[in-house]
Amino acid sequence: MNNSEGLLKVENLKKWFEMRKGILSNPVFVRAVDDVSFSLGKGEAMSLVGESGSGKTTLGKTILRLYKPTEGKIIVNNKDISNANPKELMWYRRETSIIEQDPYGALPSFFTIYRILEEPLLIHKFGNLEERRKRIHEVLDEVRLTPIEDFASKYPHMLSGGQLQRVAIARALTLRPKLVIADEPVSMLDASVRIEILNLLRELQRNLGISFIYVTHDLTTTKYFSERLFIMYAGKIIESGRMFEVIHNPQHPYTEALLNAIPDPDAENRKVLRNIPPGEPPNLVNPPSGCRFHPRCPYKMDICDKKEPSTFEPEREHYTMCWLHEIK
């Protein structure tokens, strides 16, 4: 949508999953990501927020080319990688990495921490034994798993959830990637550890100049984490802009509902009902016509169920897909 001097540019990206009810029946498609465009600058952090089933994880994984896009383009450093084959993607694998939700399942239990961190270096034929050792010590120090020698020789079962997630972060950083996607990196961790891990990620992102996509359902934590906020609903990015503007001046009725739904600790909360639209996100096989939020929208107009809204820019660099902002 903006920022042409970017690292990553996504144009009209679609990822539909084929689903068959029986062998002979016609396939139906789950439109997990449906026509998404945006760009991300070098060293920039963005948050991608949506409810479960909104397509945020699919979008992240498609960008990393863990899924093949159905349509559209993914352009990295002016190279189009949307249709590249696995061999052509080796350089891309080296420059990108992912941190997933479940640190308990993400690390092989029969490898020591050292071996886990060495794996990506071996795959990408990085340096000799000594250079690898140096790099592994470097990343362990960065994620503050010290004393390093102690942790390097441990196995995953000997660590706590927070420590495991630090290992997962270290592993994501071993090859010095340019783009990291963290998909709900703290939702499985104890509340008291979450802030610690998020602070660490933010610090590393800044110090190492990584472009970062933080994928989450938890809007409250994004504020401390990124400059830009993208809100996803039913496979589409329905609002995006600078963090402060989106949070304090939401332009899409869905974003407004999402913000209304989140309490800050306040004794007055118990006395009032929250102003929330009823219903739940739509089925992505047969999404509603026109604007996908129209069945739940309190401001629904005639046009909303007939025509899909285009992207409007009601404020500078603040975009929304909602007919309310059409300039007549």
Partner 1 sequence: MTENILTCKNLVLHYTAKKGVVKAVNGISISLLKGESLALVGESGCGKTSLAKAIIRLLPRNIHTYNGEILIDGQDTMKLSEKQFREEIRWKKISMIFQGAMNSLNPVLKVGYQVAEPLLIHEKMKKNEALERAKKALSVVGIQESFVERYPFELSGGMKQRVVTAMALITNPAIIILDEPTSALDVITQANIMNLLKRLKKERGLSYFFITHDIALSSELADKIAVMYAGEIQEIASADIFYKKPAHPYSKKLMASVPTLRTDKKPEFIVGSPASLINPPSGCKFHPRCPSAFDKCIKETPPTFDLGSGHLAKCWLFEKGWGKE
Q: Using an 8 Å Cβ cutoff, are 174 and 117 in contact?
A: yes
Q: Which long-range contacts (CB under 8 A, 24 or more apart) does 136-139 make?
A: 136/174, 139/170, 139/171, 139/173, 139/174
Among 269, 286, 289, 310, binds partner 1 (CB under 8 A): 269
Which residue, 40 or 164, is less far from partner 1 as judged by CB? 164
Residue with Cβ nearer partner 1 (277 or 295): 277
201-260 positions binding partner 1, by CB under 8 A? 217, 219-221, 223-224, 247, 257-260
| Helices marked H in 179-294 | 191-208, 219-222, 243-248, 253-261
Residues 165-204 that bind partner 1 (CB under 8 A): 190-196, 199
Contact 309, 323 (CB under 8 A): yes
Pattern of binders to partner 1 over 17-56, x per CB under 8 A?
A: ----------------------------------xx----
Of 83 and 199, the one with the shorter C-beta distance to partner 1 is: 199
Distance CA 323, CA 300 (A): 9
What minimum distance in Å lies between the beta carbon of 40 and partner 1? 23
Which H or E run contains 114? helix 113-123
289 contributes a contact to partner 1 by CB under 8 A = no
- If phi > 0 it is left, if psi is from -120 to 50 it is alpha, else beta; for residue 115 that is alpha
By C-beta, is 261 or 285 nearer to partner 1? 261
299 binds partner 1 (CB under 8 A): no
What is d(CA 125, CA 29) in angstroms, rounded to the nearest whole number? 39
- Residues engaged in binding partner 1 (CB under 8 A): 51-52, 160, 190-196, 199, 217, 219-221, 223-224, 247, 257-267, 269-270, 273-274, 276-278, 280-281
